[in-house]
Structure 1
Amino acid sequence: MTPTPAPPEFEAPDLETLSDPQAWRERIDSVWSWLQSEAFSIEFGIQAAAVVIAVAIGFALRRPASAFIARVFSLAAIEKFKARAIRFVAPVIGPALAWALLSGVLFTLQQLEMDYFWVRLGANLLGAWAIIRLLTSFIGEPFWQKTAAAIGWTLAALNIIGWLGPIAVFLDSMAIGFGGGRVSILTGIRAAILLVLLYWVASRLAKLLGSRIDTLPSLTPSARLLIGKTVQFILLATAVTLAISSLGIPLGALAIFSGAVGLGIGFGLQKIFSNLVSGVILLLDQSIKPGDVITVDDTYGRVASLGMRFASVITRDGMEHLIPNEEFITSKVINWSFSDHAVRIKKSIGVDYSTDVPKAMDLVVEAANTVPRVLPSPATKCLLRGFGDNSIDLEVRFWIADPGNGVNNVASEVLVAIWQAFKDNGVEFPFPQRDIHFKGGSPVEVRLVTDSTD
């Protein structure tokens, strides 16, 4: 039996061939003639049917095979590996079963000395698919997983057919000179693939190192964040540098170009870089840390996280404010827990002029100390602040240790307790009072007007 001829070889054309219509017509005619001679042969029909049937059976058995694997890993000894096994094995079952069936058909055709070119091609493509799906299953992100699988299988298919080398030569021939180097489409594709691969590796490595840094008890939260962000930046910068170096361009040639671009970006992204620098300053001096209770402008809340560009501040009503880091450098910020979480709260109170002031001051202190959040030490104090137009002005000063739980609410509880103590002991709150004086020594004439109808 005459073996099936291989498909026409792909020869890398030069630029002159690309612009020659006659050359393109000859190539298309040769491929078309080969397809016609093969498509209507009995050998091709047998092999095509075997490939289609094997693929159909393999993917039809994918779901039962997955269920069987799930039942196997349900055993108590290996149940902890069940989720991981399904994640890695399930995408491979379909092409792997189809490859196994085609391998059996290929062995049978070889024993019968029948043509097996298309069966071998199909088996090789399915085997490459299964291996690539298995390798890319280690990538957690679905987008990158599918992208890597598509690129890997395309390269494998071109290599199996025998077109990878000629296409690479063709892409490498389309090049331009840059900075004393040579940049072609092939080197650009390689650099892009390398950049994606290095970016993924750098992100994974930065995440792993970040999790290890977070477990170090000797580091403060700000130091952990700073070290984690620095490691992430260094790894990503290294990935970009290696990708650019793979283009064959001397890095020194990019100095002038990058300087001009950097100047333009600096003006356009001035605020962003200002926030980045401010974030580094905050992480170094630790003036604002995650967990601090702060007041900036009209925002009062707890710092949930501190990033390189903004800080997340959660207020008492549950709203999350993303405040740029620059605001903490240029604005007045009250940090209620900078050096000590204990803070003092002052509230003014007025009593009537007929009040026994020492007794009222004692009642204020006793009432404030009944509130659970008020600290016994430092001691609560009540001061006489002055004599107003309508009242004797007192001021209560008390301390709390948890400003993150709110300041106004505990002040309200203290004032309510003082009101109740005054009410129980007959202490009067003042009302506005005015004395009216009439000028002149003559008596004031008072006239009584009555209704004439009465």
Structure 2
Amino acid sequence: MNETNGLVDGLLSIAGIFNLYAIFWLIIGGFALWAAAQGLNNLSQRLMGKIPARRFLILQISTLLTFALYIFGTVGLFIAVLQPPKELLFAAAGSVAVALGFALKDIAASLVAGILLLFDRPFRVGDRVSFGDTYGEIVSIGLRTVRLVTLDDNLVTIPNSRFITDVVASGNAGELDMMVVTDFHLALDANLAEAQKLIEEVVVTSRYAYLKKPVAFTLEEVEIAHALAIRLRVKAYVLDVRYEKAFQSDIVQRGTALLAMHNIARPKPLLAV
């Protein structure tokens, strides 16, 4: 009988905490947290427009502040409005831990992975990364997921936990500039020295090139359509990762035209027997 009375008293105590007044202020506080997060996002967008060279740093700080706002703001809101007794706080913490451990283990793993990503930083907001068959720019690192925009303008959402166990490659590692690799294929009897000189001229005159880092070339004999050819690979840096494909297209377009203008031999397809 005493145990039943104790359970009833506990339920009544909890019900007393969640009265209409408390629920009203929880709703107001939740809306205030959302509005603050939106204001922070808008502020970061304006700062990036005024200081584009520091947009990676601004995005990283904005992401960290949003994390802190939602986590500490939610906990502080519940404690300030409901003012629960210590025993209820300990019980609630234990219940949440058990629920996360069993019912929400995948989400909990992603939450922990999200915190690890902030400190380990294998990539940052704004990086161009390759993850499996997906390549694109990291636009947000959330509590549970990472959002990536591909070059085809598709938004891909990936659970944080996958980045802890799988391999991810970052093309620029927090820098604005990034190496762009472009291939040209030449005939075996082509003038390789002249071809390299012409392509280098194309690269260094491109408006997208970042010339504080070196331009490198490699030559390799490869097979194309059952015929041997020379692959001229140029490795150059683009001044901003957002211009990656524009830079590559500029090199290919002007480089192809220049090679043809100087009669640099290109591979010929084999004739059918």
TM score, norm. by length of structure 1: 0.47
The corresponding residue for 1:240 is 78
The corresponding residue for 1:78 is none
Structure 2: distance between partners of 1:349 and 1:212: 46
The corresponding residue for 1:173 is none
1:229 aligns with 2:56: no
> Residue 299 of structure 1: which of 134, 139, 153 is its match?
134
Bigger RCO of structures 1 and 2 (CA < 8 A, at least 6 apart)? 2
1:419 aligns with 2:242: no
Q: Cα deviation per residue 1:104-158 (whole Å; 9 max; x = unaligned)? A: xxxxxxxxxxxxxxxxxxxxxxxxxxxxxxxxxxxxxxxxxxxxxxxxxxxxxxx
On the 8 A contact 1:305/1:311 being kept in 2, the answer is yes
On the 8 A contact 1:375/1:401 being kept in 2, the answer is yes
On the 8 A contact 2:171/2:179 being kept in 1, the answer is no
Structure 1: distance between partners of 2:269 and 2:209: 31
1:178 aligns with 2:3: no
Structure 2: distance between partners of 1:380 and 1:269: 50
Secondary structure of 1:177's partner?
A: helix
1:399 aligns with 2:237: yes
Structure 2: distance between partners of 1:396 and 1:213: 39
Structure 2: distance between partners of 1:205 and 1:226: 18
On the 8 A contact 1:301/1:404 being kept in 2, the answer is no
Structure 2: distance between partners of 1:390 and 1:274: 50
Structure 2: distance between partners of 1:270 and 1:319: 28
Secondary structure of 2:125's partner?
A: coil
Which residue identity is paired with 1:360? A
1:259 aligns with 2:87: no
1:331 aligns with 2:166: yes
Which residue identity is paired with 1:188? A
Q: Which has the larger radius of gyration?
A: 1
1:350 aligns with 2:178: no
Q: How many equivalent pairs are there?
A: 254
On the 8 A contact 1:344/1:399 being kept in 2, the answer is yes
Q: Cα deviation per residue 1:253-285 (whole Å; 9 max; x = unaligned)? A: 675686366424422211111111122222334
On the 8 A contact 2:172/2:179 being kept in 1, the answer is no
Structure 1: distance between partners of 2:87 and 2:178: 56
On the 8 A contact 1:382/1:394 being kept in 2, the answer is yes
Deviates more, 1:299-308 or 1:219-228: 219-228
Secondary structure of 1:178's partner?
A: helix
Structure 1: distance between partners of 2:78 and 2:199: 66
Query: Cα 1:367–1:231, aligned 2, differ >3 Å: closer, same or farther?
Result: closer
Structure 2: distance between partners of 1:395 and 1:363: 13
Q: Cα deviation per residue 1:216-244 (whole Å; 9 max; x = unaligned)? A: 99985334433343343233224434666
Structure 2: distance between partners of 1:427 and 1:358: 10
Task: Give the drift of 1:400.
Answer: 0.9
> Residue 272 of structure 1: which of 99, 107, 111 is its match?
107
Structure 1: distance between partners of 2:248 and 2:256: 12
Query: Cα 1:259–1:326, aligned 2, differ >3 Å: closer, same or farther?
Result: same
On the 8 A contact 1:348/1:393 being kept in 2, the answer is yes
Which residue identity is paired with 1:271? D
Which residue identity is paired with 1:272? I
Secondary structure of 2:98's partner?
A: helix
Task: Give the drift of 1:209.
Answer: 5.7
Task: Give the drift of 1:201.
Answer: 4.3
Q: Cα deviation per residue 1:337-369 (whole Å; 9 max; x = unaligned)? A: 324222222333332333333222212222333
The corresponding residue for 1:155 is none
TM score, norm. by length of structure 2: 0.73
1:410 aligns with 2:244: no
Secondary structure of 1:341's partner?
A: coil
Secondary structure of 1:288's partner?
A: coil
When the two chains are superposed, the root-mean-square deviation of aligned CA atoms in Å is: 3.7
Q: Cα deviation per residue 1:175-204 (whole Å; 9 max; x = unaligned)? A: x7336955439x725523244134234335
Q: Which has the higher strand share?
A: 2
On the 8 A contact 1:303/1:313 being kept in 2, the answer is yes
On the 8 A contact 1:191/1:243 being kept in 2, the answer is no
Q: Unaligned stretches of 5+ in structure 2?
A: 48-53
Structure 1: distance between partners of 2:108 and 2:30: 22
Structure 2: distance between partners of 1:192 and 1:236: 18
Task: Give the drift of 1:296.
Answer: 1.8
Which residue identity is paired with 2:73? L
Q: Cα deviation per residue 1:367-419 (whole Å; 9 max; x = unaligned)? A: 33343323334343433335877234432222212222343x53243223222
On the 8 A contact 1:361/1:383 being kept in 2, the answer is no
Structure 1: distance between partners of 2:100 and 2:191: 71
On the 8 A contact 2:138/2:149 being kept in 1, the answer is yes
